[in-house]
Structure 1
């Protein structure tokens, strides 16, 4: 009975980003932002909109990413939370936020691009997408691929190893009757 009470009283699990692991993302954002500025400048100086428009789009996209990464380094942001309500995706600017337990089919741990991901497979992706703002919905669809889940949390910058994260979230998944599939 005491073990059952412990399961009922599960604490929130917070998986945080390790600031030192984010520097590569920051360098990539700076590089892409600088490249976008150069492309925009080349397009505007030659009055060639075929370069200027994508360059401006790149400035907007990578500028937002740059600010988001800097904010994450300074403030320290969690990648995800697992609690009584569900799984909260906070990994990127296009994250969907809270996914309640009844919306989750199962959770898959997968490797892509030499990185481990927590993929939350949803029962109805459209329901989750409807809750997002237009901008977040656009970013999510831009970032989404049919081979991945709508909620794909990269663990490459996490403070814990993927095995430690699995150990931390497994009790919550079991309590709510969700399977953890390691693929």
Structure 2
């Protein structure tokens, strides 16, 4: 039981997301450089925002493809989230209040609820802090791991989580006696 449960990202999905990001960057470039009749400021702003946002997404997915890391690691200390750009890192068992499957906009997430609702926001800085703060307005959990990106079954992941979480609870109870 001392072994970590390592979940890799689905590489096919990463390739698809990188490609879709590239398509949106190209669409944004069209908005930036093609002359539109009438008001030319709004299409240029839309184009710039599209190029910046999807360009950053594309760079992230290319980085993941070139240097693959596990998306999620379940250890005896807790859950390490590396599934997205705003990764939470290690969330210790004693920081976790609950774990549940959450649906949002037709996508399922493994939602990790922490006792401190600002735990992940407080750990991040800069742009990631802003994105984490925006995430709290969308979903009730503090850590949200997209299930579609994980290369394992949800049953296997939930079993690994419950085994290690229960062991951690038992170890803390034994140590306190």
When normalised by structure 2's length, the TM-score is: 0.82
Q: Which residue of the partner structure matches residue 17 of structure 2? A: 25
Decide whether the 8 Å contact of 1:43 with 1:52 is kept in 2. no
| Structure 1: segments with no counterpart, 5+ residues | 1-5, 179-183
2:118 pairs with 1:126 = yes
Deviation, structure 1 residue 146: 4.1
Q: Which moved more, 1:140-149 or 1:92-101?
A: 140-149
What CA RMSD, in Å, does the superposition of the two structures yield over aligned residues? 2.6
Q: Cα gap change, 1:145/1:27 in structure 2, threshold over 3 Å: closer, same or farther? A: farther
Q: Which moved more, 1:135-144 or 1:158-167?
A: 135-144
Q: Cα gap change, 1:100/1:138 in structure 2, threshold over 3 Å: closer, same or farther? A: same
Q: Which residue of the partner structure matches residue 152 of structure 1? A: 144
| Structure 2: segments with no counterpart, 5+ residues | 171-177
Deviation, structure 1 residue 43: 6.9
Q: Cα gap change, 1:148/1:39 in structure 2, threshold over 3 Å: closer, same or farther? A: farther
When normalised by structure 1's length, the TM-score is: 0.79
Q: Please give the alpha-carbon distance, in whole angstroms, between the structure 1 residues aligned to 2:83 and 2:37.
A: 38
Deviation, structure 1 residue 80: 1.2
Q: Which residue of the partner structure matches residue 101 of structure 2? A: 109
Q: How does 1:134-145 map to 2 (within 5 A)?
A: 134-145=126-137
Q: Please give the alpha-carbon distance, in whole angstroms, between the structure 1 residues aligned to 2:166 and 2:50.
A: 43
Q: Cα gap change, 1:88/1:44 in structure 2, threshold over 3 Å: closer, same or farther? A: farther
Q: Cα gap change, 1:66/1:45 in structure 2, threshold over 3 Å: closer, same or farther? A: farther
Q: Which residue of the partner structure matches residue 58 of structure 2? A: 66
Q: Cα gap change, 1:164/1:114 in structure 2, threshold over 3 Å: closer, same or farther? A: farther
Q: Which residue of the partner structure matches residue 153 of structure 2? A: 161
Q: Which moved more, 1:21-30 or 1:85-94?
A: 21-30
Q: Secondary structure at the match of 1:125?
A: coil
